[in-house]
Amino acid sequence: MEQWVVVTIVITLYLALTLTIGLLAGRRQTDSVAGYVAADRSFGLLVMYFVTGASVFSAFAFLGGPGWAYSRGAAAFYILAYGALGMAPFYWIGPKVASLGRKHGFVTQAQLITGRFPSRNLSGLIALLSLIAFVPYVTLQMRGAGIVIEAVTDGNVPIWLGSAVAYGIVIAYVLSAGAMAVGWTNTFQGIFMVLIAWSLGLYLPHALYGGIGEMFTQIIAERPELLAPPGLTASGEPWSWGAYSTFILVSAVGLMMWPHLFMKAFTAKDDDTLRRTVILFPTFQLFLIPVFLIGFSGVLFPGSPPSSDFILPFMILETELPALVVGLFCAGALSASMSTGDALLHASASVVVEDGVQQFVDLNEHTQRRLMQGLVLLTGAIAYIFAQDPDSSLVLLLASAYGIIAQFAPPVVAALYWKRATTTGVIAGLIAGAATAFFFWQSPELKPFDMHEGIVGLMVHIPVLIGVSLATPPQSQLHLERFFD
């Protein structure tokens, strides 16, 4: 039997198993909106840990990470640096958000913000910005799944077909079971990913160079510019410290503001589970080390993949491992893509219905659930169209989305900690910040010090939020008491 046939069989079995777990999980939850969106607030530590880890580590980390290490060298270290920084504040914010969620029945981020700053338009604005940020993120995951499948089947299954099959399965279980399916499939996929990353990341440098230190010594001798921080740009020029530092900053600020991660605060069983998840999270971050090693092992390897995002499947195929092993590795990479994609699709539908549509039209629970399911399909379809663009870089797709998502941080912090903040101030800040980020994303040559557009956006956002809040009348004492104990 040809190698690609064996690999395809392994991947098919893996996908079938994921689908089964996803569909079975759905039988354990109630048929309500709180059930679909927040899994009846029932996740324990094991599930929470892997849900969070697996939804953060996506095709971005598994394919884009090695791709950056391979083509841009030390620039990839920015991905390593931001996770722990971004997660730590959630140790305090998370339980606070969770307790407000239980008290007021919030299941989304916008409900929390508009609970403090009542405004239908603000809610709609958050839903819209979330959706804009979600589409490139889902696109990245689908393209990732397609890349893996195309590479391992020798092009017999092209990207358009591979991403359609993988995401057909994701959509099937997200539609049927919501948050519960996302939780259990991610636990399964998270364990799988960690095993694959470490075994391959340690194996490749040893097999090809005789050790990790050996590999880097050789890279330093032959390509010294690659490992000199902050690494290279896509065109091979030295990257700037301004960009490197603000990429870390914007990703750290934005990390927990992603609605699909923020909503985890509402799915946790209790505060201890939530805190424990935050504490353990950096251990997931260290899993990027073997992932980068996979990318670095390709630097001095003869031959090159069609684009740097293909480096992981390329290395797996070039090292002549048994077909069964190749199949398992690729299933690991697919897990990475699918475990984030499912969480994204689920969250974007929940957010658009709960925070967008529901604010303006009154729907019963059953219609809401149906509408969410329709939106899962629609978002999936839009992302699928974008995923066919051959020129997109996985890391850059996500980095752009972070520019928008980071703008949710000031409203959340203001809602939780600043009593003097007002609804008008928050809306003005959000519009100013998002517009600034969008402007500099469109005109990158105007960016001061090569800074990430999301950080420039925040530099406008925060003063506007504070200034307009102080210029408008404060919220009533009665309203504030409901929010601050």
At 389, the amino acid letter reads D
Is residue 228 involved in binding other proteins (CB under 8 A)?
A: yes
User: How many residues of this chain bind other proteins (CB under 8 A)?
Assistant: 48
Interface pattern 231-270 for other proteins (x via CB under 8 A): ----------xx-xx--xx--x-----------------x
The least distance separating other proteins from the CB of residue 252, rounded to whole angstroms, comes to: 7
CA 391 to chain centre: 20
Between residues 246 and 475, which has the closer beta carbon with respect to other proteins?
Answer: 246
Interface pattern 265-284 for other proteins (x via CB under 8 A): -----xxx--xx-xxx-xx-
**One-letter-per-residue 3-state SS of 122-177:** HHHHHHHHHHHHHHHHHHHHHHHHHHHHHHHCCCCCCHHHHHHHHHHHHHHHHHHH
Of the candidates 127, 116, 128, 129, the residue with the CA atom closest to the CA atom of residue 423: 116
* CA trace torsion 435, 440, 441, 446 (10° rounding): 170
CA distance 58 to 68: 14
Of the candidates 245, 263, 257, 252, the residue with the CA atom closest to the CA atom of residue 407: 257
DSSP for residue 453 = H
Between residues 231 and 356, which has the closer beta carbon with respect to other proteins?
Answer: 231
The least distance separating other proteins from the CB of residue 214, rounded to whole angstroms, comes to: 8
CA distance 138 to 47: 22
**Residue 210 Cα distances to 202, 205, 215, 302, 316, angstroms:** 11, 6, 7, 16, 17
**Residue 456 Cα distances to 103, 233, 408, 434, angstroms:** 36, 20, 14, 10
Is residue 213 involved in binding other proteins (CB under 8 A)?
A: yes
Token pair 């972070």 in the structure block, residue: 402
The least distance separating other proteins from the CB of residue 299, rounded to whole angstroms, comes to: 12
The least distance separating other proteins from the CB of residue 242, rounded to whole angstroms, comes to: 7
Q: Which stretch binds other proteins (CB under 8 A): 16-24, 50-58, 75-83, 405-413?
A: 75-83
- Out of 216, 439, 441, 483, point to the residue binding other proteins (CB under 8 A): 216
The least distance separating other proteins from the CB of residue 74, rounded to whole angstroms, comes to: 6
Residue pair 310/177 in contact (Cβ under 8 Å)? The answer is no
Q: Which stretch binds other proteins (CB under 8 A): 227-235, 257-265, 458-466, 476-484?
A: 227-235
Between residues 92 and 417, which has the closer beta carbon with respect to other proteins?
Answer: 92
- Out of 207, 220, 459, 471, point to the residue binding other proteins (CB under 8 A): 220
Between residues 229 and 474, which has the closer beta carbon with respect to other proteins?
Answer: 229
Residue pair 334/149 in contact (Cβ under 8 Å)? The answer is yes
Is residue 448 involved in binding other proteins (CB under 8 A)?
A: no
Interface pattern 380-419 for other proteins (x via CB under 8 A): ----------------------------------------
Please, which of residues 77-116 interact with other proteins by CB under 8 A? Answer: 77, 80-81, 83-85, 88-89, 91-92, 95, 99
CA distance 87 to 124: 27
Please, which of residues 113-172 interact with other proteins by CB under 8 A? Answer: none
Between residues 110 and 274, which has the closer beta carbon with respect to other proteins?
Answer: 274
Secondary element (H or E) of residue 228: none
Token digits of residue 467 = 């200034």
Report angle CA 107, 55, 206 to the nearest 5 degrees: 165
The least distance separating other proteins from the CB of residue 186, rounded to whole angstroms, comes to: 21
DSSP for residue 237 = S
Between residues 4 and 90, which has the closer beta carbon with respect to other proteins?
Answer: 90
CA distance 254 to 249: 8
The least distance separating other proteins from the CB of residue 217, rounded to whole angstroms, comes to: 7
Token digits of residue 256 = 């927990």
Q: Which stretch binds other proteins (CB under 8 A): 188-196, 223-231, 431-439, 476-484?
A: 223-231
CA distance 149 to 383: 18
Between residues 129 and 226, which has the closer beta carbon with respect to other proteins?
Answer: 226
Between residues 226 and 344, which has the closer beta carbon with respect to other proteins?
Answer: 226
Q: How many residues does the chain have?
A: 485
Q: Which stretch binds other proteins (CB under 8 A): 178-186, 285-293, 408-416, 461-469?
A: 285-293
Token digits of residue 135 = 């589409």
Interface pattern 172-211 for other proteins (x via CB under 8 A): ---------------------------------------x
The least distance separating other proteins from the CB of residue 211, rounded to whole angstroms, comes to: 7
CA distance 418 to 231: 39
Axis crossing angle, helix 453-471 with helix 423-442, rounded to the nearest 10: 160
Between residues 56 and 212, which has the closer beta carbon with respect to other proteins?
Answer: 212
The least distance separating other proteins from the CB of residue 42, rounded to whole angstroms, comes to: 16
Task: Report helix, strand or coil for 484.
Answer: coil
Summarize as ranges the residues that interact with other proteins (CB under 8 A): 74, 77, 80-81, 83-85, 88-89, 91-92, 95, 99, 211-217, 220, 224, 227-230, 241-242, 244-245, 248-249, 252, 270-272, 275-276, 278-280, 282-283, 285-286, 289, 292, 485
